[in-house]
Amino acid sequence: MAKAAVIQLVSQDVIEHNLTRVNYLLSQMSQDEVVSLVVLPENVAFMGANDQDKLKFAETFGAGPIQESLATMAKKYHCWIVAGTIPLRGVSPHHVRAASLVFDDNGECVARYDKIHLFDVRVSEEERHEESATIEPGHEVVVVDTPVGRLGLSVCYDLRFPELYRQLVLQGAELFAVPAAFTATTGLAHWEVLLRARAIENLCYVLAPNQAGIHPRGRHTYGHSMIIEPWGNILGRLDQGEGFLTAEIDLHRLQDQRRHFPCNDHHLLGHI
């Protein structure tokens, strides 16, 4: 069995600081454990005071200091890294893509998922979000083979759309990556129940690193990063602040569960 991990951060508006924190936590993890796959949270390298700030730091796919730094870490620590999301240049000069890149243990980018569902909501009278003002949505469902299993990629607000995860399972996903920056309000209400539901209804592992604290402009994220096994049991959980979780991924047990409880074979997609 291989091990997977999630890293929880409190990202700020200084890229060098955030990447230094990722490197530190990877170094701490590597002292005690051999981890094959690490998932980082949404907005891993930058959370600015203004939504427009990310446009200044957008990189071209395949080049740029954020991508180079994360690729170097993957090679240095001999692990695959799902790089949460980083801002990549979009079609419009006024928008970026919230891109989740997967680096293998040689530092090569082997997959890219652009966040499909954008967080355009009013959480309360005081809190409103409009990601579509600065982010272009992606359109492709992405699954990638990793050392711990076949991994379906998603990001944060995607979690509320079970049809995406069904498509990932239909493409062979055994695990889901759910890097997030869930707000404190929505996280308290829905984070755990949605994560466990996605695991249970698809019989998949869920690797869910969240942002976890106070960011520029007073934004407060929920934390409580989790790793969940296919029956919905939580294998590990963090509260607030920075840290990491690890867990063994047992694909033989997953396949046994799917044989004994074949709900993925009973779906009605294509028959309605």
Q: Which residues are catalytic?
A: 42, 115, 156
Residue 187 phi/psi, 5° resolution? -65, -45
Cα(first)–Cα(last) distance of the chain, in Å?
39
Residue 247 phi/psi, 5° resolution? -160, 150
Residue 11 phi/psi, 5° resolution? -65, 145
Alpha-carbon distance of 79 to 41, in angstroms, equals 16
Q: Are 97 and 90 in contact (CB under 8 A)?
A: yes
Pairing between β-strand 37-39 and β-strand 2-8 as defined by DSSP bridges: parallel
Residue 26 phi/psi, 5° resolution? -65, -40
Alpha-carbon distance of 91 to 100, in angstroms, equals 17
Alpha-carbon distance of 87 to 99, in angstroms, equals 6
Tokens of 133: 């003002």
Secondary structure (H, E, C), 13-30 = CCHHHHHHHHHHHHHHHH
The DSSP result for 148-182, as a single string, is TEEEEE--GGGGG-HHHHHHHHHTT-SEEE--B--
